[in-house]
Amino acid sequence: MGVPSLPQTSFNYANINLPAHFTINNPDFGNISRLDNTPNNNQISDAGATLGRVLFYDKRLSANDTTACASCHLQENGFSDPRQLSVGFDGGLTGRHSMSLANAAYYENGRFFWDERADTLEDQVLLPIQDSVEMGMDLDDLEVKLTATSFYGELFDDAFGSTDVTSERISLALAQFVRSMVSFESKFDEGFDNGGDFNPNGVFTAEEELGRQLFFSNNNGPNCDACHETAAMILDQPRNNGLDANTNADQGTGGGRFKSPSLRNIAVTAPYMHDGRFGTLEEVVEHYNSGIQDHPQLANQLQQNGQPEQLNLSQAEMNALVAFMETLTDESFLTDPKFSDPFED
Ligand code: HEC
Ligand code: HEC
């Protein structure tokens, strides 16, 4: 555990200059600011997100000092977990696959978890701490523990103007850090000009460009962006994407509908879906191509004449969709020191 090592001048979290394709009203994407779920009383500050970063990586947040948020949300994996189910503080397994965290700020209805059981991010971040499988900690005990940990007083003071450690402040700071995780420097982003228009020349291979066109095709094609929307590549709302004809094992938000995290960095966040059933992007594409299951709540974007859609893609087209999704990998984001473990030296 030990003491975090932090930069003299804080990293920049509060003033991010997003590129034009995030912020202008272009027909493909639209302005993401309308999707921003940041509440007025918890705008990101550099000191708040810095405290959030330390908390996110601190194993003291678990009952036996073994497990941090970062144990199940790994930066190199887009803040998801390569294990199908994550391992909690006492060796127990989580009920679903860990979710990647990039662009969580831009989920419009502002609810969190695959089944959206947390109404806000501020509510969400306190739940894993108290979860009996994940971190097993009591919030009152956590306040006492962090008050007794020498370096926290100054961090709380910088962020909130006094050294008091409260669970409300823990929640605010963790939420600021998570919302600061915006990914916008992938190969895909390099293809946009300052006017927000995309030009593949010199950036994309022919295969990647074919994949992009399929992803953003209309109703006659895969039409992935009907649901995975905007430059943040975020789902519009929870949906049933035809994984199972019978969803009794897990109904998600109801009727087998689930939230999905952003597809940013999707190539490094395997396995996929709420239960981590698919090990590769090829399997995901195969699902959308020929595996959609009928269900009373199946999203209409995945139906044709009332039947589960069959895309009949060629192997080359399926490969192209995978190649396009691989362009969403953002090495700057995955290695940015401002999101890294401050306890590591
Ligand atoms: C033991 C593993 C584990 C730990 C520790 C853990 N998480 Fe998670 N996290 C998960 C899993 C699994 C899910 C999905 C659970 C579900 O939806 O039922 C998840 C979901 C989330 C989500 C929802 C993302 C979305 O888009 O809806 C956020 C945010 C999150 N975790 C943040 C945190 C923070 C902050 C901490 C530390 C306070 C933390 N997690 C600790 C495993 C973990
Ligand atoms: C009807 C809306 C809809 C359409 C259209 C759609 N998806 Fe999805 N997608 C979802 C939902 C909902 C999930 C999460 C489902 C779950 O885990 O139960 C998801 C999950 C995913 C995931 C896994 C995300 C993760 O973090 O595990 C990938 C990858 C994906 N979709 C790619 C695509 C591609 C490629 C297409 C086009 C061929 C597509 N989607 C079309 C709704 C949609």
Q: Omega of the bond prior to 271 within 30 degrees of 0, cis?
A: yes
Q: What is the pLDDT of residue 282?
A: 98
Candidate from 66, 101, 109, 117 with most ligand 1 atoms within 8 A of CB, to mutate: 101
* 321 within ligand 2 shell (Cβ under 6 A): yes
Ligand 1 centre from 305 Cα, in Å? 38
Is 228 a pocket residue for ligand 2 (Cβ < 6 Å)? Answer: yes
> For ligand 1, atom 19, which residue shows the shortest CA distance?
98
Q: Establish whether residue 196 lines the binding site of ligand 2, counting it when its CB lies within 6 angstroms of any ligand atom.
A: no
Q: What is the pLDDT of residue 146?
A: 98
Position in ligand 2 atom list of the atom nearest CA 272: 27
Sites in the chain below the pLDDT cut of 70 = 345
* Residues 141-183: tens digit of each pLDDT: 999 999 999 999 999 999 999 999 999 999 999 999 999 999 9
What are the b/e assignments for 120-144, b being 16+ CB within 10 Å?
Answer: ebbebbbebbebebbbbbeeeebbe
239 lines ligand 2 (CB under 6 A): yes
Expressed in angstroms and rounded, the spacing between residue 110 Cα and the centre of ligand 1 is 15
**For the chain, which domains are there?**
32-182 (1.10.760.10), 187-331 (1.10.760.10)
Strands (E), 210-331: 228-229, 234-235, 303-304, 307-308
| Nearest alpha carbon, ligand 1 atom 30 | 125
137 C-beta closer than 6 A to ligand 2: no
- Tell me, using a 6 A CB cutoff, whether residue 329 lines ligand 2: no
H helices within the chain, ranges in order?
A: 20-23, 46-57, 121-124, 127-130, 139-147, 152-160, 167-179, 187-190, 206-215, 281-286, 315-326, 331-335
pTM over 0.75: yes
Which protein residues touch ligand 1 with a CB less than 6 Å away?
56, 61, 67, 69, 71-73, 86, 88, 94-96, 98-99, 101, 104, 112-115, 124-125, 128-129, 134-135, 174, 178, 259, 261
For ligand 1, atom 41, which residue shows the shortest CA distance? 69
* Per-residue confidence (pLDDT) for residue 283, from 0 to 100: 98
Pairing of strands 234-235, 228-229: antiparallel
